[in-house]
């Protein structure tokens, strides 16, 4: 009789993660004998947690805030997308060797195209943030041939680094780094086709839950506003965007699509997308009812 395999999500804190709910639903729907756990990992315990993934019973893990970059030196190998992004959100245990992948890049593009009905080739975009999610979003836009991408962040040296790291890959895309200030954003408001929030502003259960990274008057009426933050009600940014007449896309489709690609890497099976969407929406509603 085979033993139950293990998977989990590594982050700190993990209160907001919906991955356990929708990954477990997908494993159960396909009859895969595996348990997806919540591995809340304080900074001092990261090395030990990652080393434990080499156990033969462990298929791998997801990695979330704040470890997507910090986990890299603990792995044996990275695929091309994770190397280019400089961030890992999925680890696969291949016979004791730990492989790092980044499925946020695919998840971002699939959500943009399928749920947002938006083709990024040739577009002008503004990306807000410079963490792991922003790296994935900017790389996705570069790989799909966006023409001009502004990237703005509160801590300027972080966004400068991000843009300098990705510039060698951006033959068809002009990349510009900005501080996240009103004057800089206004000076760069050249008619964005796409605005993407990759900051944590608007995240439920945080002190910034009621904040938006972009003043409402700078949102163009004819753009798509994509907020990577997921919550059951619209984020402050998406509420402002709707008021301005812009189209909106929330973070749930990306969450499910990145998870579906992780699922395929761990199990070799296509993920049951509809099962995942249903379980993610239910978990989101339940978390909101529980006050998170
Ligand atoms: P991260 O690496 O911790 O980066 C956080 C970003 O938010 C940084 O750019 C940070 O700026 C900015 N920020 C934090 N507090 C701020 C404030 N008060 N004012 C302005 N900027 C602030 O996190 P991440 O992994 O990139 O994730 C970012 C968000 O995307 C999270 O809400 C996460 O849940 C979401 N996400 C969603 C998906 C999805 O599938 N939908 C996937 C990945 C991530 P500084 O550099 O100045 O600190």
Considering the segment(s) 5-102+253-289 as one domain, its CATH architecture is 3-Layer(aba) Sandwich (3.40)
Fill in the DSSP letter of residue 254.
H
Q: What is the pLDDT of residue 206?
A: 87
Domains 5-102+253-289 and 105-250 share a fold: yes
Residue nearest to ligand 1 atom 40, measured at CA:
255
Which of 16, 68, 135, 143 is labelled catalytic?
68
Q: What is the pLDDT of residue 45?
A: 98
What separation in Å is there between the alpha carbon of 250 and the centre of ligand 1? 15
Q: Region 281-288: what's the mean pLDDT?
A: 90
Atom of ligand 1 nearest to the CA of 133: 26
State yes or no: pLDDT of 290 exceeds 80: no
Above pLDDT 90, what percent of the chain? Answer: 91
Q: What is the pLDDT of residue 291?
A: 55
What b/e string do you get for 222-251 counting C-beta neighbours within 10 Å, with b at 16 or more? ebbbbbbbbbeeebbbbebbeebebbbbbb
Q: What is the pLDDT of residue 2?
A: 77
The mean of the pLDDT values for the chain is 96
What is the DSSP pairing of strand 97-101 with strand 90-94? Answer: antiparallel
What separation in Å is there between the alpha carbon of 114 and the centre of ligand 1? 23
Q: Region 106-134: what's the mean pLDDT?
A: 97
State yes or no: pLDDT of 16 exceeds 80: no
Atom of ligand 1 nearest to the CA of 104: 42
**Is residue 237 within 8 Å of residue 228, measured between CB atoms?**
no
Name the pLDDT band for 109 (thresholds 50, 70, 90): very high
Spans of all domains in the chain:
5-102+253-289, 105-250
Q: Which of 29-33, 80-84, 202-206 has the lowest mean pLDDT?
A: 202-206
pTM for the full model?
A: 0.96
State yes or no: pLDDT of 41 exceeds 80: yes
State yes or no: pLDDT of 205 exceeds 90: no
Q: At 199, list the tokens.
A: 């900051």
Instruction: Centre a 10 Å sphere on the Cβ of residue 13 and count the other Cβ atoms it contains.
Output: 12
Q: Region 134-142: what's the mean pLDDT?
A: 97
Fill in the DSSP letter of residue 247.
E
The string of pLDDT tens digits covering residues 62-100 is 999 889 999 999 999 999 999 999 999 999 999 999 999
Please give the Cα distance from 218 to 97 (Å, whole number).
47
211 annotated active-site: no
Q: What is the pLDDT of residue 292?
A: 47
Does ligand 1 have an atom closer than 6 angstroms to the CB of 276?
no
Q: Region 147-160: what's the mean pLDDT?
A: 98
Name the pLDDT band for 1 (thresholds 50, 70, 90): low
Considering the segment(s) 105-250 as one domain, its CATH architecture is 3-Layer(aba) Sandwich (3.40)
Q: Which of 275, 217, 249 is nearest to 116 (CA)?
A: 249
Q: Which of 8-17, 28-37, 65-74, 136-145 has the lowest mean pLDDT?
A: 8-17
Ligand 1 pocket: which of 101, 154, 159, 238 to mutate (most atoms <8 Å of CB)?
154
Name the pLDDT band for 128 (thresholds 50, 70, 90): very high
Atom of ligand 1 nearest to the CA of 135: 26
């Amino acid at each position: 009789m085979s033993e139950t395999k293990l998977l989990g999500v590594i982050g700190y804190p993990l209160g907001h993660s919906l991955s356990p709910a929708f990954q477990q639903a997908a494993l159960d729907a396909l009859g895969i004998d595996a348990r997806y756990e919540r591995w809340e990992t304080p900074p001092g315990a990261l090395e030990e947690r990652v080393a434990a993934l080499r156990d033969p019973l462990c298929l791998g893990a997801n990695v979330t805030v704040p470890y997507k970059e910090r986990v890299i030196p603990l792995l044996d190998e990275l695929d091309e997308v994770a190397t280019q992004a400089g961030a890992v959100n999925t680890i696969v245990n291949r016979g004791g060797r730990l492989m790092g992948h980044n499925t946020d890049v695919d998840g971002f593009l699939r959500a943009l195209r399928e749920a947002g009905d938006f083709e990024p080739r040739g577009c002008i975009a503004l990306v807000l943030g410079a963490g792991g999610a922003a790296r994935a979003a900017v790389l996705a836009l570069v790989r799909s041939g966006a023409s001009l991408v502004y990237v703005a962040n509160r801590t300027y040296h972080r966004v400068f680094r991000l843009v300098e790291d990705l510039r060698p890959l951006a033959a068809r895309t002009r990349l510009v780094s900005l501080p996240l200030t009103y004057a800089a954003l206004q000076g760069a408001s050249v008619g964005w086709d796409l605005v993407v929030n990759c900051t944590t502003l608007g995240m439920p259960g945080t002190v910034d839950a009621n904040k938006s990274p972009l003043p409402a008057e700078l949102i163009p009426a004819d753009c798509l506003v994509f907020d990577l933050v997921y919550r059951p009600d619209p984020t402050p940014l998406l509420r402002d965007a709707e008021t301005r007449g812009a189209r909106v896309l929330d973070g749930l489709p990306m969450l499910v699509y990145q998870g579906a690609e992780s699922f395929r890497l761990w199990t070799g099976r296509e993920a049951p997308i509809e099962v995942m969407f249903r379980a993610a929406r239910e978990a989101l509603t339940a978390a909101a009812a529980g006050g998170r």
